[in-house]
Amino acid sequence: MRLSSAHARKAMSLLPPLALDPGTLLPCVLVVEEHDEMRSALRDWLLTSFPPLKLREARSMEEALALAGQAPLDLILVNLELPGPNGIEAARALRRRHPRLRIVVMSVNDSMALRIAALEAGAEAFVSKRDLRIALHPIVATLLKQRD
């Protein structure tokens, strides 16, 4: 089951923005999502909920690895369902190359086995896309506040 961009935007718009310390460098977040509508909804929500913010986007593990190697990132939100290697493999590869990077895996599929696999691959958290409205905001806020 895919969330439409309208549903994703509506669900995410109910959350308050995060207040960041004005003396810190802008946090940089990479969204790894194959579907244009969902990537757009995540982009809009992140830029509204966590201003100011640098945002980068990728559609696959290969693009994510290339972008992660170009500039420092604070957080990666990666969809489990990607073309080619999935989000768990992407998390594992990103963690190997960038051990301090914060990673959150997202998926419409939710099971204890997927959650465990994501955490074992190096993700900080696993979020069901059905629970984005409730679960993602506090996770992103916490991870961005904990950045060095």
- Note the pLDDT of residue 148: 53
Percent of the chain residues past pLDDT 70, beyond the cut: 83
**Residue length, the chain?**
148
Q: Tell me the average pLDDT of the chain.
A: 84
- Does residue 27 carry a pLDDT above 60? yes
- Does residue 118 carry a pLDDT above 90? yes
The pair of three-digit structure tokens given for residue 34, joined into one six-digit string: 């194959």
Question: 147, exposed or middle or buried, with CB in 10 Å at 0-12, 13-18, 19+?
Answer: middle
Question: What does the alpha-carbon distance between residue 91 and residue 82 come to, in Å, rounded to a whole number?
Answer: 12
Percent of the chain residues past pLDDT 90, beyond the cut: 62
Question: Using 50, 70 and 90 to split pLDDT, how confident is the model at 41?
Answer: very high
